[in-house]
Structure 1
Amino acid sequence: MKLWAISDLHLGTPANLSAFMAMGHYPDDWLILAGDIGERISVLDHAFCESVRRFKQVIWVPGNHELWTVPEIGSDIPVLAGEARYRKLVELARQHGVLTPEDPYPVWPGAAGPIEIVPLFLLYDYSFGPPGMSTEEVVAWAREERAVAADEMLLSLEPWPSREAWCAERCRLSEQRLCELDPEVPKVLINHFPLRRDLIDIPRVPRFVPWCGTQKTENWHRRFNAAVVVSGHLHVRRTDWRDGTRFEEVSLGYPQQWNSGKDLHHYLREILPG
């Protein structure tokens, strides 16, 4: 029995969708989908349907792409934005039996257990940018080297007054739930965005960091006894260690960022037993 993880499948891309549909079956294993599965609700619906057919249990956290306000092509699904869109995605996941950040945290039943599996939705607040700058200054600083996030146009804040406010509330809610867990039981923390600034290394767009997380979570791996932290977003697959905790970046990415000569199994990251 294994716990696998992958993120940034971007199934709106034909090559990625083809690889996903050719993926094998893992009837005894669990799968983490760590965000950026696709931009449209219909795509996510399809991904959930296919994933639960292949795995015993599926766990999902949202990426920024799922939260984009985009029309549903050839569908009567209404266009939803911001918090309302996130709630709709949670509802959709539950219809498929997929666990979300809003559900009770499951305990891993494999030989490595007990380990609590903790899906999170924390967003970002621009605090990974240069210290002392306002949000507007951070965005301008990033733009100086052509780092511009589509989120600024497509990820609605509704009904929150700012991205920072939404991120602060998500961190508060998640922190509250984590503090209620048994501190002696190890955790697998799952968030689309990295929990630490020092894990971000994107040579192709080094100034993309403002859209990559929040300093509020810098020490969560220590505070909450994390055995493993799973994230995506960067499209830079890697394993790092901090304070005895394993950090896994599990992105697939766009077609030019992975080898289409290899099947998707090659890109599933084994989280447990590990």
Structure 2
Amino acid sequence: MKVYAISDLHVGVSSNRAALDVLPAYPDDWLIVGGDVGETEEQLDYALSILTQRFAKVLWVPGNHDLWTVPANSETALRGEPKYRALVDICRSYGVATPEDPYPLWNEQVVLAPLFVLYDYSFRPADIPEEQAVAWAAETKVVCSDEYVLHPDPYPSRQAWCQARLAYTEKRLAAIPATHSIVLINHFPLRQEFARVYRIPRFSIWCGTTQTEDWHTRYPVSVVVSGHVHVRATDYRDGVRFEEVSLGYQRDWKQEKGIQAYLREILPGPGKPAQQPATQWYR
């Protein structure tokens, strides 16, 4: 039995949706879905109706797109925490593990920990105050759509929602016995260095929080799984394997290879190398 991971399926894109339709079955294996399945409850429901038939178990974490309220001017559409809870309910209807559920145990010794940790604009230069971060990004004509369609209700800001999620998650992680190994799963990178937004570098402020920089050493972590930036890679830091597992938009992957070519094996995985290798990129 293996555990695979993929994120950023973006099934609202017709080619991605078509590729998901023909994804082969892996009846003995588990799948981690690292967020950005789509923008609506219907898209998540559609994707899970397929994935839960192709894999023995599925785990899910939300991405920023999943949390969007579209259309933005709808008076009846769910926003913020209520939207998130509705997504969790959809997952539970399929038996999919979420950040609100007990962490699944793999082979009796590895804890798979789906997380929902947002961002707080702290992935920015030290001389840029937080209150100026969005304006700083906008100077290069970069403003994330989250500013218009990812609402933090009932929290006063996305930063406040992020703080609440950090406190909730840290409490849960601290309760995991040190005898276990943990796979941390979050849509956003947990370290700023992995916010690899080379074409639009100031987009980094929407990519995570510096408060998770040391989580891979604070807890007994063996692997960290993330997506969001659409730059697939494997890295090692402090003996911990970091996997960016995005699929992305049409420009980000080769449709002729199929989604199955982009499933990353997380467990058992390649094992720890004797020396930390250079970054391994995936095209």
**Scaled by the length of structure 1, what TM-score is found?**
0.95
* 1:46-102 deviations in Å (ceiling 9; x for gaps): 111111000000000000000001149xxxxx5100001001111110001000000
- Where do 5+ consecutive residues of structure 1 fail to align? 73-77
**Higher deviation after alignment, 197-206 or 219-228:** 197-206
Q: In the alignment, does 2:103 pair up with 1:108?
A: no
CA contact (8 A) 1:130 1:138 kept: no
Picking from 201, 208, 231, the partner of 2:203 is 208
The residue aligned with 1:79 is 77
Alignment of 1:126-145 (within 5 A): 126-145=121-140
Structure 2: how far apart are the matches of 1:188 and 1:172? 19
| Displacement after TM superposition at 1:132 (Å) | 4.5
The residue aligned with 1:120 is 115
| Displacement after TM superposition at 1:133 (Å) | 3.1
Alignment of 1:26-41 (within 5 A): 26-41=26-41
Alignment of 1:1-274 (within 5 A): 1-71=1-71, 79-109=77-107, 114-274=109-269
Structure 2: how far apart are the matches of 1:131 and 1:91? 39
Structure 2: how far apart are the matches of 1:146 and 1:26? 43
Structure 1: how far apart are the matches of 2:197 and 2:66? 22
**Scaled by the length of structure 2, what TM-score is found?**
0.92
Structure 1: how far apart are the matches of 2:178 and 2:128? 36
Instruction: Please tell me the residue identity of whatever aligns with 2:163.
Output: A
* 1:206-241 deviations in Å (ceiling 9; x for gaps): 111000000110100111111100000000000111
CA contact (8 A) 1:197 1:218 kept: yes
Structure 2: how far apart are the matches of 1:137 and 1:184? 43
**Higher deviation after alignment, 230-239 or 124-133:** 124-133
Aligned residue for 1:4, secondary structure, equals strand
CA contact (8 A) 1:33 1:61 kept: yes
Instruction: Please tell me the residue identity of whatever aligns with 2:66.
Output: E
| Displacement after TM superposition at 1:136 (Å) | 3.5
Aligned residue for 1:261, secondary structure, equals helix
Aligned residue for 2:260, secondary structure, equals helix
- Where do 5+ consecutive residues of structure 2 fail to align? 270-283
Aligned residue for 1:118, secondary structure, equals strand
Structure 2: how far apart are the matches of 1:201 and 1:50? 30
Structure 2: how far apart are the matches of 1:94 and 1:172? 23
Aligned residue for 2:50, secondary structure, equals helix
